[in-house]
Amino acid sequence: MSKSLRKHSKVCLCEPRRFSGRSNLLPCKGDCRVGLKPSSQRHDSLGFIYFLGTHYGIELKGIMLLIIFSLSACTSFPYTTEIPVTPTTPESESGGVEITATPESEAPIIEEDDAPKTLRIWLPPQFDPDTETEASALLKARLAEFQKRRPDLILEIRIKAIEGEASLLNALIATHQAAPSAMPDLVALSRPDLESAVNVGVLHPLDGLTMLLDDPDWFPYARPLSNIQNSTYGLPFSTNLLGLRYLPSEDFPFFSLENLEEQEAQILLPEDVALLSFCLYNEAELEEESLTDLLSFYQSDIFSQVAHENTFEIHWAKEFLDETPADAILSPIPTPKGDSCSLASAWLWTLAGSDPDLQPAAVELAEYLSQSDFLAEWTAETGYLAPRPTALTDIAFQELSLIAKPIPSNERTEALAEIFNAATISVLTEQVDPRAAAQEILETLQ
Taking 90 as the threshold, does the pLDDT of residue 327 lie above it? Answer: no
Same CATH fold, 241-343+407-445 and 117-238+347-381?
Answer: yes
Specify the range with the lowest mean pLDDT, choosing from 104-108, 204-208, 219-223, 312-316: 104-108
Res. 113 pLDDT band, cuts 50 70 90: low
* φ and ψ at residue 193, rounded to 5 degrees: -70, -35
- Cβ–Cβ under 8 Å, residues 322 and 383: yes
Domain ranges of the chain: 2-94, 117-238+347-381, 241-343+407-445
Predicted local confidence at residue 111, as pLDDT = 53
pLDDT averaged over every residue in the chain: 81
Report which of residues 91 and 263 the model is more confident about. Answer: 263
Q: Which fold has domain 241-343+407-445?
A: D-Maltodextrin-Binding Protein; domain 2 (3.40.190)
- Cβ–Cβ under 8 Å, residues 341 and 332: yes
Res. 82 pLDDT band, cuts 50 70 90: very low
Predicted local confidence at residue 43, as pLDDT = 41
- Cβ–Cβ under 8 Å, residues 120 and 186: yes
Specify the range with the lowest mean pLDDT, choosing from 4-8, 91-95, 405-409: 91-95
- For strands 343-351 and 405-406, give the pairing: parallel
Q: At what angle do helices 134-149 and 372-382 cross, to 10 degrees?
A: 150
- Cβ–Cβ under 8 Å, residues 188 and 356: no
Give the residues across from 119 on adjacent strands: 155
Amino acid at site 431 = Q
Taking 50 as the threshold, does the pLDDT of residue 358 lie above it? Answer: yes
Helix-then-strand count for the chain, H and E: 16, 18
Distance CA 121, CA 153 (A): 12
Highest mean pLDDT among 14-18, 227-231, 235-239, 304-308: 235-239
Top CATH class, 117-238+347-381: alpha beta
Distance CA 270, CA 251 (A): 27
